[in-house]
């Protein structure tokens, strides 16, 4: 029987909005704010708030620049971010397989 700590979920990553952001970023080098908003369906305010939290925790890097005089924000996973999101999905898969295991 797995220890309780083995099943503990990463609370920072597990929030649905942040999980969606990190999952999208896990498949590319960088994605800008508009694309992340499209892919996750989050509002501008929500997305901005989550990106700030993730950047503060060191899971993503944010670059801000101007493109045609308009501000453009793009994000990329850090090495820590890649590890944490991969581990989180593994954890969820483990929980799913445990849930399917018939009780003794």
Partner 1 sequence: MDREKLESAAPTYSYLRGLLAAPAGILCVAAALGNWEVEPFTHAGVMLACLLLVGGLCLAINRYYNEHYGHITASSGQQARAAAAMVIGLVVMIAISMIARSRAGISLDLPVNALGAGWAAFMLIGYAMTVGLSRHHVVIFGGMLLASLAPAWGGLSLGDTTNVGMLLAGAAITAAGICDHRQLVRRLGPAGALSVENGNARA
Residues that bind partner 1 (CB under 8 A): 16-17, 19-20, 23-46, 67, 72, 74, 89
Q: How far apart are CA 46 and CA 90, in angstroms?
A: 26
* Nearer of residues 29 and 100 to partner 1, judged by Cβ: 29
Q: What is the dihedral of CA 48, 54, 58, 60, to 10 degrees?
A: -70
* Nearer of residues 36 and 59 to partner 1, judged by Cβ: 36
* Nearer of residues 5 and 64 to partner 1, judged by Cβ: 64
Shortest distance, CB of residue 3 to partner 1, whole angstroms?
25
Shortest distance, CB of residue 44 to partner 1, whole angstroms?
6
> For residue 30, with 0-12 CB atoms within 10 Å meaning exposed, 13-18 middle and 19 or more buried, which class applies?
middle
């Amino acid at each position: 029987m797995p220890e309780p700590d083995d099943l503990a979920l990463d609370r920072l990553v597990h929030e649905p909005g942040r999980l969606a952001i990190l999952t999208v970023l896990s498949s590319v080098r960088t994605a800008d704010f508009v694309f992340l908003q499209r892919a996750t369906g989050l509002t501008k305010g929500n997305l901005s708030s989550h990106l700030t939290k993730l950047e503060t925790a060191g899971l993503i890097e944010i670059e801000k620049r101007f493109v045609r005089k308009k501000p453009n924000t793009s994000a990329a996973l850090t090495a820590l971010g890649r590890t944490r999101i991969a581990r989180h999905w593994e954890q969820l898969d483990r929980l799913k397989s445990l849930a399917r295991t018939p009780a003794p």
